[in-house]
Amino acid sequence: MNLIQLEPYRTTDELKAEIQRLKTEKKAVVLAHNYQRPEVQEIADFVGDSLGLARQAARTEAEVIVFAGVHFMAETAAILNPEKKVLLPNLNAGCSLADTITADDVRAWKQDNPDGLVVVYVNTTADVKAEADYCVTSGNAVAVVNSLPKDRKIFFAPDMFLAAHVERQTGRKLDIWLGECHVHAGIRPDDIDAQKAENPGAEFLIHPECGCASHAIYNFPDTPLLSTEAMISHSRQSEAKDFIVVTEIDMVHRLRREVPGKNFIPVNRTALCEYMKMISLENVYETLRDLNNQVTVPQEVAEKALTSIERMIQIG
């Protein structure tokens, strides 16, 4: 009779110690998105937004990249590092926004607009990026669109709220795909109004993916829309002590770690991405231990997508 050897239960501290040991042993780096669980952020070598993580993936000398994020982020890292192992601790960690558009949707627009330019948000699959001229994040979308020829039609996909922000900032009319992030779309104007009533002296930190952004701009006209990375720099420089954070709830953890002495209030404690939360300390540890859950992109797709991704990294 064969007995299955079970690993002993590990405490959080033991898991963290084992992950640190395995990173050295396997010559690995752990990249974590701002929306990851706090304990996952704390064992990462770098925590950031999609643009920052892409830049780190492009420059790392590690042989193994463990991406504590969602599937499209691991795909991007794999495209930038074809010679390295890119691992996603939970292969079911997808993205509701990325799922709103396919490569066929982009090809259909290109067929109708052969002289147009395609700009896609980084929250898209590799297949979609392969059909794009430019890839962007919330941090550089305005800069990218501003850099494009004024006489070219632009298709912007898939987030309609980020697209509306880009239109306001650039003054350009875009062809907009009507996609949304379910977390950001779920933050309502009532959430903003309620938190402002409770914290009248607080400043807003509002992500441009939020469906409530137009309401905030109209009712609080001095409020900027900020990428998650810009939230860090803005709150450091601001004289305000209190901030209402209008994005996924675990951005608050990073803000509290990196900007001590200030108070960060989540606008809605149910603004939680269940896909990001699929990554746990346990599966980060197991992935490092076994070097499994590798994410790969077909060479033909990767080669086509690389151009738009490199442009994203270079601009803004």
8 Å CB contact between 156 and 175: yes
Tell whether 182 is in a known binding site. Answer: no
The response to whether 121 counts as a known ligand-binding position is: yes
Q: What is the mean pLDDT of residues 106-114?
A: 98
Q: Indicate if the pLDDT at residue 4 is higher than 90.
A: no
Q: State residue 285's pLDDT score.
A: 97
Per-residue pLDDT of 126-152, as tens digits, reads 999 999 999 998 889 999 999 999 999
123 a known binding residue? yes
Q: What pLDDT is recorded for position 313?
A: 86
Q: Give the C-alpha separation, 21 to 298, whole Å.
A: 32
> Is omega for the bond preceding 8 within 30 degrees of 0, making it cis?
no
Q: Which residues are 225's β-sheet partners?
A: 206
DSSP-derived 3-state class of residue 271: coil
Q: Does 33 show up as a binding residue in the annotation?
A: yes
Residue 316: pLDDT band (50, 70, 90) is low
Is pLDDT at 195 greater than 70 in this prediction? yes
**Helices in 38-114 by DSSP H: which ranges?**
38-43, 50-59, 71-80, 103-112
71 is in an annotated binding site: no
Question: What is the spatial distance between Cα 266 and Cα 242, in angstroms, rounded to a whole number?
Answer: 11
Confirm whether residue 235 is marked as ligand binding. no
Specify whether the CB–CB gap between 49 and 33 falls below 8 A.
yes
Residue 1 has a pLDDT of: 45
Convert the pLDDT of each residue in 260-280 to its tens digit: 999 999 999 999 999 999 999
Instruction: Domains for the chain: give ranges and CATH numbers.
Output: 12-93+276-297 (3.40.50.10800), 98-179+304-314 (3.40.50.10800), 187-266 (3.40.50.10800)
In the numeric block, which tokens belong to residue 94? 């997808």
pLDDT above 90: residue 58? no
The answer to whether 228 is a known ligand-binding residue is: yes
Q: Is 209 annotated as a binding residue?
A: yes
Annotated binding residue at 135?
no
Q: Output the pLDDT for position 5.
A: 47
